[in-house]
Amino acid sequence: MDEKELQQNQETAVENAGSDNQTAENAAATPTNETDQLKAQLEEQKDKYLRLMAEFDNFRRRTAKERLELTQTAGKEVIVSLLDVLDDCDRAEKQLQTATDVAQIKEGVQLVFNKLRSTLQQKGVKVMESVNTDFDVEKHEAITEIPAPAEALKGKVLDEVTKGYYLNDKIIRFAKVVVGK
C-alpha cells in the first residue's frame, strides 16, 4: 500500500468514526426526544381530561338546576288557567250572600262548574267513563262487590264512588267503583 491509499483509509476511518459518534449521539438524543414527546402528549391528554371532567360537572349541575326549576314551575300553566275559575268562584260567593233567587244562583254555579270542566279539558284532562263497563284492574279500584241485579251485569262496574281521570291519555287517578258479582 502506498501512502495515498493509507491516507484515504485513515480519512474514511475518521469519517466513519465521526458518523458513528453522530449515530450514537442521535441514538442517545432520540430516546430523550421521544420521552419528552411522550411527556408532552401525556400532559396534553391530562389537560383534555381535566377540561372534559370540568365541562361534564358543569353540565350535570346545570341540568340539575334546570330540572329543579322545571319541577317547581311545572304546574304553573294549569294554575294560571284555573285562576279565572277561582275569580268566578269568588264572584259567585259574593252573589250567594246577597241573592234571593235560587234559580239564578243555580245557573251561576253551573256556569262556574262548566268553566272549570272546560278549562281542565283544554289542558288534556278527561273523565274516565266507568259505569256499565267491564271491571278493569288497570283502570278501576274496586271498593266493594255487591250482587248484580242482572246476570249481564256480573263483573261490570255498577256504581262509581270516585271518578277516574286521564291526562293526555295517561291515567292520573283510578276510578273507585262498586263491582257486580
pLDDT at 166 over 50: yes
pLDDT above 70 covers what percent of the chain? 83
Provide the pLDDT confidence category of residue 3 given band limits of 50, 70 and 90. Answer: low
Report pLDDT for 81.
Answer: 85
Q: Measure the CA–CA gap between 85 and 111, rounded to whole angstroms.
A: 10
Residues 6+ apart with CB under 8 A from 115: 84, 85, 88
Report pLDDT for 128.
Answer: 94
Q: Measure the CA–CA gap between 101 and 82, rounded to whole angstroms.
A: 27
**What is the SS3 assignment for 164?**
coil
109/79 same-domain check: yes
Instruction: Kindly report the CATH number assigned to the domain that includes residue 161.
Output: 2.30.22.10
Report pLDDT for 9.
Answer: 63
pLDDT at 105 over 70: yes
146/79 same-domain check: no
Query: Grid coordinates 326549576 are at which residue?
Result: 69
155/180 same-domain check: yes
Q: Measure the CA–CA gap between 115 and 178, rounded to whole angstroms.
A: 29
Report pLDDT for 145.
Answer: 93
pLDDT above 90 covers what percent of the chain? 53
Under DSSP, the state recorded for 126 is E
**pTM of the complete model:** 0.58
144/99 same-domain check: no
How many domains, the chain?
Answer: 3
32/65 same-domain check: yes
Q: Are 173 and 139 in contact (CB under 8 A)?
A: no
1/53 same-domain check: yes
13/62 same-domain check: yes
Q: Please give the residue range of the domain that contains residue 105.
A: 75-123
142/109 same-domain check: no
Q: What is the pLDDT of residues 28-84, one digit of tens each?
A: 445 678 999 999 999 999 999 999 999 999 999 999 999 988 887 778 888 888 898
Q: What is the pLDDT of residues 8-34, one digit of tens each?
A: 666 665 565 555 545 445 444 456 789
49/111 same-domain check: no
